[in-house]
Structure 1
């Protein structure tokens, strides 16, 4: 039995996987959605980048999970990519869902030069937190009005320190069995860091014809890709 550990991106908690988890469990697998410190029901818990890495590792080790498929969406690719190198032979595969990937010594904001000033300004103006997006910023991402309303209503400010602290990568990402899911409405091609990693024989690319939040817009299709366990065809990159 595969154990899926799912971590959503900025502003979101375990609730973001509510339509994906039942699909994975119905197929006979374990599914564990993680809320990172400082978010959703864990608001008020102080968090830095190291905290978020520990959140993921603690779930896996605390539940003694084996054959783990570790899934990181968007921002969560940063802590998930680090955690993947810390759990040894518990790891079966990493799946990055339209996500950032960690680089040793680099932070989330340093890896996002075009948006760095915007993110840092929001953190400075919101008491050390990155303010959630407004409804208009979810347009054009394959989401209907009800889905957008839910995300906006349930999103919580994201702890700023997790975005500015540098990553510590214990094992090169190119060595890890990995699937990268690119959501085409958020840009047709992976960023340069991901494109370089996709040259590894251990990495493969899967494209989804949807936006940046596929756990809401196409949860069944996303679950199907996860259940395929990386046996997708390798797209040309």
Structure 2
């Protein structure tokens, strides 16, 4: 019987970030024989010039689906960080037969029909603040805080200097369009959860992690890290990701 190829990873960055957030994770996964894909969501990284009020969650779902279908990927470990939990949920709903594991990395975990503002109510405050600005469709990145909170949990001076150059604004529509999880076949997709448990910002309240679709207890891993664990503890993160394959 021929050996099977290692599962490919599709790593989806969160709000305000771009694909370079994964720069320390990609070589570690590739060294273990996995193909790794890190799409830039529209409005970020190589697609930053495309940011506009019409960019929303559905746009970002399309970005990830385009990669999976163009590369004809199967047995995918699909990882969504933060806001991208909304994105990967709907992607898996569209192509459940291609997804081996749906991984929520310190991420929003929606039910069918929920928006980001439903999942994380503090998001509504950002939408309200944007509505009073000159560009009410645009939400800037969260402000930097003193250590140990830092910028998305990043406090190392060199990392901070680099991270600041990668962050960009997000469209309000990303937080207003609902996720879709209404495909019965999605029940057959395994789900895993990784939570960053150091320096959780005020106002961030996690929901209880739901059970697996088959009723088994959820698989939850904890990382002693701030939110951007792919930057601060890449080796530890990759160890968990590899254990899911």
How far did 1:176 drift? 2.7
Aligned to 1:71, the other structure's residue is in SS state strand
* 1:41-100 deviation per Cα after TM superposition (whole angstroms, max 9, x unaligned): 212325211111111111101100111000000000001111112113211101111000
Structure 1 runs of 4+ aligned residues shifted over 6 Å read none
Work out which of the residue numbers 211, 221, 226 in structure 2 matches 1:206.
221
Work out which of the residue numbers 30, 43, 48 in structure 2 matches 1:43.
48
1:99-178 matches, within 5 Å, as 99-122=107-130, 124-125=132-133, 127=135, 128-136=137-145, 139-140=148-149, 141=153, 143-171=155-183, 175-178=188-191
Instruction: Answer yes or no: is 1:185 the counterpart of 2:190.
Output: no
TM-score computed with the length of structure 2 as normaliser: 0.84
| Alignment gaps of 5+ in structure 2 | 1-5
How far did 1:174 drift? 6.1
Distance in 2, matches of 1:186 and 1:61, equals 37
Aligned to 1:156, the other structure's residue is in SS state coil
Between 1:117-126 and 1:90-99, the stretch displaced more is: 117-126
| Alignment gaps of 5+ in structure 1 | 231-237
Aligned residues: 229
Partner of 1:11: 16
How far did 1:152 drift? 1.6
Partner of 1:95: 103
Contact map agreement 1:48 1:162 (CA 8 A) in 2? yes
Aligned to 1:22, the other structure's residue is in SS state helix
TM-score computed with the length of structure 1 as normaliser: 0.87
Aligned to 1:195, the other structure's residue is in SS state coil
How far did 1:203 drift? 3.0
Partner of 1:34: 39
Contact map agreement 1:198 1:205 (CA 8 A) in 2? no
